[in-house]
Amino acid sequence: MIYYLLIIIGFLTRFIPHPMNFTAVGAIALFSGYYFKDKRIAFAIPMAIMLLSDWYLGFYDWKLLLSVYLAFALVVLLGILIKNKKWFIALPTSLIGTTSFFLITNGAVWAFANWYPHTFAGLMLCYAEGIPFVKNNFAGDLTYTFLFFGIAELAILLSKKMEIKNREKIFAHGKI
């Protein structure tokens, strides 16, 4: 159930009115890598979001699309790598994910599109012109990472408290 909910949320955040690149996809990729035991599912969730939304929006140059998908796969991998850390490490990790996404995708734009000269100066121009978009990406990733991880940890905490109360009731009534 949670898988479908994440796919729906990720899909919708690509369509609801929002600042450019302020979506939940990066946070969902990190969340999936961190919380889901099955790595195939962890990778499949952000890929499904992107495939469904790109199918609706329209696919473009496959090399650029591939760079986007690979960048999100790297964010899932970051989530897997921090799996044994405290949940709040996800916030700085999301900044690493956003930075990686920016470097990979803008590097691909420079390498595969004819928008910038294929020189070092052209690469730097490509990165410089991407700064307004990466600002929104940072904001979106941090916001959604805080929301998803915060809600998940709150649910885990409440679940543990309920489990403790249930055990106390069982022991109090002498059923064990």
Cα separation, 133 vs 131, whole angstroms = 5
Average confidence (pLDDT) over 124-139? 93
End-to-end C-alpha distance for the chain, whole angstroms: 33
User: The tokens 């990686």 sit on which residue?
Assistant: 100
Sequential DSSP letters for the chain? -HHHHHHHHHHHHTTSS-STT--SHHHHHHHHHHH-S-HHHHHHHHHHHHHHHHHHH----HHHHHHHHHHHHHHHHHHHHTTTS-GGGHHHHHHHHHHHHHHHHHHHHHHHSSSS-SSHHHHHHHHHHHHHHHHHHHHHHHHHHHHHHHHHHHHHHHHHHHHHHHHHHHHHTT--
What pLDDT was estimated at residue 156? 86
Q: What is the pLDDT of residues 55-80, one digit of tens each?
A: 988 888 889 999 999 999 999 999 99
Determine contact, residues 34/43, Cβ cutoff 8 Å: no
When mean pLDDT is compared across 3-17, 70-84, 99-113, the lowest value belongs to 3-17
Average confidence (pLDDT) over 31-35? 95
Q: How many domains does the chain have?
A: 1
Averaged confidence pLDDT in the chain: 89
79 or 173, greater pLDDT: 79
Nearest-CA neighbor of 148 among 51, 27, 62, 54?
27
* Model confidence at 3: pLDDT above 80: no
Owning domain of residue 32: 2-172
When mean pLDDT is compared across 14-18, 82-86, 146-150, the lowest value belongs to 14-18
Give the predicted TM-score (pTM) of the model. Answer: 0.85
